[in-house]
Structure 1
């Protein structure tokens, strides 16, 4: 979708499209329409086909978490009433923020890229960890392992907390670290009540252009930004995820990383969509959240 009455496309990312009011620009617009597509990405590739209903599911989950975290929201005043019908359910009308170039990753378990780094150097983003940890093991306490958000076309880079101080200043570096750890702790506790383990999550923050307020931005604790595992299965030594790990696993087994990624099989698409839906059902007790 490239056209909405009163709005024009300002930016198209891997999975989200950003619209601004006609006649404005992203750099100066006070508000924007953030539309979640059904596109799915992994290993820096946008894959085909899309995951049916994914955009609405992830938007629903973000809205559900915003209602529970008690933090300043990026949502604009009267956002629901002013969201175009054509994208209702998968779009959020939000305040435009000056984003901080730091991806705030919090890990409660060692897995994924963190596990790879740990096996190489015994630490993640400069945080030293005990020896002998295996994939999926719980960390002694959640750790903050930020990344630098590289310009479009470049790869994000895991960095130390000290590097984030250089990037955004000491006050903002400490503030987003503390907020990220708080969000993770709240999310993990709520997930545990639903029999889920929140293994890790990544968050982003920006400042309101008018007030300077530090605001949690973009998606929040969704299946694309977080790893959720089934707690009962984990107790039995199995990892059953509620994110796009199904896609990652299939790609890792069927693609060497060279050239264009192969097309996803229908069963991988269907199983991924089903896991996204099941996560919402587990967390909220309902397949849909109003």
Structure 2
């Protein structure tokens, strides 16, 4: 294996046959030692966070596969805390797609003059560009098209798929009386076929989940959702 990229929460290694290996770390995003799924810097290191995130990711990718949703997932190795995935090409230099069901986090910070914390949102989709230097700014459909990152038809396809995937995740969490407030997804195109794929991970580190109005931290979420193993 050859190291391709050292990321904040995962390292990426090349494999044969248009596949790569993702090695999950115990680093999580946040600021001043406090976890924040929307942050673009590493805030703290939590022992076991990588394996916890991989367990959640494996569950959701396998569930989505059962439902016919295309993802980059191939297999997971919990002992090695790694995942084999199809190699994908990002949109531009990378996009993050956020689906929001309640007003919290950066949404509340931006639009707090118009809403209260926890207000219901109707699976609102926002897109940000991955750019640490500029604070991962949000970007509109028109701007995505103007800059040649996504066509309007591709944007609509991405938006529709995001809502479909996030509604599935929300419903799975609800089976354990857990409420999804918001979640961050990433997409790319299969390098071999060009097909649109859900990529990256689906874990507590990418979402805000509450139970009876109380926020559940990522590792506690995994234990609550999958059960202690």
TM bin (shorter chain): 0.7 to 0.9
Which structure would you say has the larger Rg?
1
> Paired residue for 2:41?
45
TM-score, structure 2 as length reference: 0.85
SS of equivalent residue, structure 2 residue 112: helix
SS of equivalent residue, structure 2 residue 186: strand
- Alpha-carbon contact 2:204-2:222 (below 8 Å) kept: no
Greater per-residue strand proportion: 2
> Paired residue for 2:37?
none
Displacement of 1:154 after TM fit? 4.2
SS of equivalent residue, structure 1 residue 279: helix
> Paired residue for 2:20?
32
SS of equivalent residue, structure 1 residue 146: strand
1:194-237, Cα deviation, whole Å (9 max, x unpaired): 111100001011111111111100012x111100001x2x2xxx
Displacement of 1:107 after TM fit? 0.3
SS of equivalent residue, structure 1 residue 216: strand
> Paired residue for 1:54?
49
TM-score, structure 1 as length reference: 0.68
> Paired residue for 1:241?
215
Is there any run of 5+ residues in structure 2 with no aligned partner, and where?
32-39
Structure 1 position 66 matched with structure 2 position 61: yes
- Structure 1: distance between partners of 2:130 and 2:150: 12
- Structure 1: distance between partners of 2:43 and 2:207: 19
TM superposition outliers: structure 1 runs of 4+ over 3 Å: none
1:54-77, Cα deviation, whole Å (9 max, x unpaired): 10110110110012222113123x
| Counterpart among 162, 178, 197 of residue 215 in structure 1 | 197
RMSD: 2.1
Q: How is 1:189-228 mapped onto 2 (pairs within 5 angstroms)?
A: 189-220=171-202, 222-228=203-209
- Alpha-carbon contact 1:145-1:161 (below 8 Å) kept: no
Is there any run of 5+ residues in structure 1 with no aligned partner, and where?
1-6, 123-132, 235-239, 244-274
Greater per-residue helix proportion: 1
Q: Which has the higher contact order (CA 8 A, sep 6+)?
A: 2
Question: How many residue pairs get matched?
Answer: 214
